[in-house]
Amino acid sequence: MSMFKKKRGKANPAISTASLPDIIFMLLFFFMVVTKLRDAELKLNINTPSATELTKLEKKSLVNFIFVGTPTKKYQDTYGTSPRIQLGDKFAELDEIAKFVEEHRLSLDEKQRPAVISSLKVDGETTMGIVTDVKTELRKANQLKVNYSAKPADKR
């Protein structure tokens, strides 16, 4: 008499893949909801200068970007070819900078407000006159943390 019987011909059942499309669509929907796309359409030609000593900003949510450059071809008929300021998604004047900075501060938590940084993305061909005017307006708005955006220089 044998104590153990061999089971032949019985294989494990196949794993059901019927729920895989549901899982894939749930993941796709999740990433579509969570992903934040670019806030503003860039309406200016910006070719930032290159630099060698760069540091990366840690918290992008604390940074508000101010763009300075010449309008793209699409907007040159309306705004001309002289350097302009872009705040968020629209062209702006110097007196609108303080309001823009304050709106950004109010959108943040009270503890984070002192750490707000204004980042100037300025075209390399833009004159310093408009940049100085922007910095003066930032000082008037009590926004003293300012940095300049640049691209890494070629190491040779």
Domain membership of residue 90 (yes or no) is: yes
Domain coverage including residue 70: 44-152
Residue with the bigger pLDDT between 150 and 2: it is 150
Q: Which residue has the tokens 């604390």?
A: 62
pTM here? Answer: 0.74
Q: Does residue 126 sit in helix, strand or coil?
A: coil
Domain membership of residue 23 (yes or no) is: no
Domain membership of residue 60 (yes or no) is: yes
Indicate whether 81 pLDDT > 70: yes
pLDDT digits (tens, 9 = 90+) for 1-46: 567 666 666 677 778 888 889 999 999 999 888 887 766 678 999 9
Domain membership of residue 124 (yes or no) is: yes
Indicate whether 128 pLDDT > 90: yes
Cβ(123)–Cβ(83) below 8 Å:
yes
142: left (phi over 0), alpha (psi -120 to 50) or beta: left
Domain membership of residue 18 (yes or no) is: no
Indicate whether 66 pLDDT > 60: yes
Domain membership of residue 2 (yes or no) is: no
Domain membership of residue 74 (yes or no) is: yes
d(CA 101, CA 43): 20
